[in-house]
């Protein structure tokens, strides 16, 4: 009997939390929403923006908002496998002005997320208007980030990971992928709730400390994580496991990406983290029409 079968027999699917309290504003997840990626690191694997060009960043943000994004996710540090990690001040220098500018223009209409695993950057970002902390380390790289999330009372995206980007490919080993990722979430959720963190989104961590085969297995069985009773974010946008399987480039996999987004929605994803907002919003609309037929 597989781990997933045992889990379904023992727990069943409980209702998933459908709202996040973002500093007094509620983010409604009764319907799936889109989180738009805003890369401010020059070495991101796909579509980097020049953080010095605030006008360029604002145009990108405006396009994402008009196309239907509910959340804008700003990151100043590349976390692709093998990427070089930079000092805190350099990361913050990339984030600060775009974050302030987007907050002024769109902060009342959408939600702003900061993509960082560093406590100091998270705290500064929240004080500049960020509503959500999106941590690719699950609190492993800088444990103080949980203190910040607890003190500031903001939602937290808890992602599964095993190692820092520069060495993560060496750690893609599992005896039982689903059981180990599930145990990671169970343990980390318990610790977070002990600290008083209530609004938690789980992210299975596609592409992080995982092989191509691991990523497909994770997507195939991702509904397993609904038993954790947390909203689930799926971040597969133009990732390696798709374009390497096809022998293509990130620019060439939009159609495939949309197909896998539909699969993620069928499996209970509440948030799609994407580069291509219009197509993801269309995917959600088609999925809802399909579900309601």
Q: Which residues are catalytic, by number?
A: 239, 273
Distance CA 114, CA 237 (A): 17
Helices (H), 50-176: 54-67, 88-106, 119-127, 144-152
Strands in the chain per DSSP E: 19-22, 25-28, 33-39, 71-75, 111-115, 132-135, 156-159, 200-203, 233-234, 271-274
- Which 3 state secondary structure label does DSSP give 36? strand
Judge contact between 133 and 116, C-beta under 8 A. Answer: yes
What is the Cα gyration radius of the chain? 18
DSSP assignment string, 230-283: S-BEE--TT-HHHHHHHT--GGG-HHHHHHHHHHHHHTT-SEEEES-HHHHHHH
């Amino acid at each position: 009997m597989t781990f997933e079968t045992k889990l379904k027999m023992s727990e069943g699917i409980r209702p998933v939390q459908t709202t996040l309290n973002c500093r007094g504003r509620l983010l409604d997840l009764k319907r799936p929403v889109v989180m738009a990626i805003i890369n401010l690191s020059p070495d991101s694997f796909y579509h980097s923006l020049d953080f010095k060009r605030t006008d360029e960043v604002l145009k990108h943000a405006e396009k994402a908002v008009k196309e239907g994004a509910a959340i804008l996710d700003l990151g100043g540090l590349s976390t692709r496998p093998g990427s070089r990690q930079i000092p805190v001040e350099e990361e913050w220098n990339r984030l600060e002005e775009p974050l302030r500018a987007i907050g002024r223009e769109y902060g009342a209409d959408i939600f702003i997320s900061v993509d960082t695993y560093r406590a100091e950057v998270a705290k500064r970002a929240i004080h500049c208007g960020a509503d959500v902390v999106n941590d690719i380390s699950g609190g492993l790289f800088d444990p103080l980030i949980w203190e910040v999330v607890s003190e500031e009372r903001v939602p937290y995206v808890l992602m599964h990971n095993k190692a820092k980007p520069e060495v993560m490919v060496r750690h893609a080993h599992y005896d039982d992928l689903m059981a180990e990722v599930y145990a990671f979430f169970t343990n980390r959720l318990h610790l977070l709730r002990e600290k008083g963190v209530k609004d938690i989104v789980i992210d299975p961590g596609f592409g992080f400390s995982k092989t191509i085969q691991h990523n497909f297995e994770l997507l195939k069985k991702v509904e397993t994580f609904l038993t954790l009773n947390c909203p689930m974010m799926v971040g597969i946008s133009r990732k390696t496991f798709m374009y390497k399987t096809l022998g293509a480039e990130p620019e060439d996999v939009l159609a495939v990406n949309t197909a896998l987004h539909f699969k993620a929605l069928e499996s209970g994803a509440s948030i799609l983290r994407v580069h291509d907002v219009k197509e993801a919003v269309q995917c959600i609309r088609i999925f809802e029409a399909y579900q309601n037929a």
